[in-house]
Amino acid sequence: MYEFEYHRADSVKDAISTWTGASDGAYLAGGMTLLPTMKQRLASPSDLVDLAKIGGLKGITVSGGTVTIGAMTTHAEVNTSADVQKAIPALAELAGRIGDPMVRHRGTIGGSIANSDPAADYPAGLLGLGATVKTNKRSIAADDFFTGLFETALEDGELITEVSFPVPKRAGYSKFPQPASRFAMVGVFVAETSGGVRVAVTGAGPNAYRVPEMESALGGNFSPDAVAGIKVPAGDLNSDIHASAEYRAHLVTVMAKRAVAAAG
């Protein structure tokens, strides 16, 4: 690991001004991705701006049919929240299936979506539920947030403050985990929302994406049978030592059926 300056921010304003004053700053959430990346010398920020002590970035509220989760809220806190379990049980379930206990107790929703790993679970939840990402500057619809492999719509230095999820009529998440890391080989989140059915896939492509053909089919008949015959093309999907593109394409249909069944 290279040398760097460590700063503990006490407010969003302080974090942003410290980042702005650094030659190559990085926000630090739980460090679950950033620190290993620095140890491997794949990243060498000049300054780390720790967000852990900014009280306003942590916590969960449910109000007016919306669940709002602060950026520094850990996966374990989302998983065990009675409010999330009641309002959007599929989201609590998703958080509980991320990685292992250490990752769930350190990793945060803000760090996860800022990182935009192609196999991360939250991107499917955000897209599937039609969530909104709030930053220090603006609100970004989940449909516009994940722009590519480890790429998001965030501008340099833009800080995620919270994510808002509209409570759906019903929702389900199904994931086929990579056995060692627990990241999604393929994960599918399905939700029946006031604006229609949404189907979002993670793990299969360079970033999370929706499947309009499945959404239309489920709009007419919300049952696993409605998606059983829908095959997604393997052409653009990821292929690696864990699974071929064809296998991932097959898993999308299987996980979609299971997610619909889980949604009831």
Ligand X SMILES: Cc1cc2nc3c(=O)[nH]c(=O)nc-3n(C[C@H](O)[C@H](O)[C@H](O)COP(=O)(O)OP(=O)(O)OC[C@H]3O[C@@H](n4cnc5c(N)ncnc54)[C@H](O)[C@@H]3O)c2cc1C
Residues forming the site for ligand X (CB under 6 A)? 26-34, 51, 71, 98-99, 103, 106-108, 110-112, 114-115, 120-122, 159-160, 181-183
Spatial distance between the Cα atoms of 189 and 201, rounded to a whole number of angstroms: 7
Do residues 237 and 218 touch, judged by C-beta distance below 8 A?
no
What is the smallest separation between the CB atom of 72 and ligand X, expressed in angstroms? 7
Spatial distance between the Cα atoms of 50 and 202, rounded to a whole number of angstroms: 28
What is the smallest separation between the CB atom of 132 and ligand X, expressed in angstroms? 15
DSSP state of 149: T
What is the smallest separation between the CB atom of 43 and ligand X, expressed in angstroms? 8
- Helix (H/G/I), strand (E/B), else coil: 212: helix
Nearer to ligand X, 120 or 252 (CB): 120
Q: Which two tokens stand for residue 9?
A: 């921010």
Nearer to ligand X, 57 or 211 (CB): 57
Crossing angle (nearest 10°) for helices 89-96 and 122-129: 170
Nearer to ligand X, 34 or 260 (CB): 34
What is the smallest separation between the CB atom of 3 and ligand X, expressed in angstroms? 18
Nearer to ligand X, 43 or 245 (CB): 43
